[in-house]
Amino acid sequence: VTEDTVITGVVSASDVDLGDGAELVFSTESTAEGLTFNADGSYEFDASSYDSLGKGEKLVLEIPVTVTDEHDAA
């Protein structure tokens, strides 16, 4: 990730029980700084939250995501 970059994207999933058109809700309990995660699976990550990292220094963030269908099955 380039310094001070804002990354956007969408997480996708499918439900084999319901097929195409299933209403899925995405959620995370992650408190990662700079991350905005929405119920439709879209997200925004603001890398400026990690300006304290030195040149060449890395930080790995793992963001667990739960996907729930309209029947509350995860």
Assessment of whether the complete model's pTM goes beyond 0.85: no
The 10s digit of each residue's pLDDT in 7-53 is 999 999 887 776 666 789 999 999 999 999 999 999 999 999 999 99
Residues 66-70: what's their mean pLDDT? Answer: 90
Describe the chain by its helix, strand, coil percentages, rounded to 5. 5, 30, 65
Is 70's pLDDT higher than 80? yes
Among the listed residues 1, 2, 4, the one whose alpha carbon sits nearest the alpha carbon of residue 51: 4
pLDDT at site 22: 76
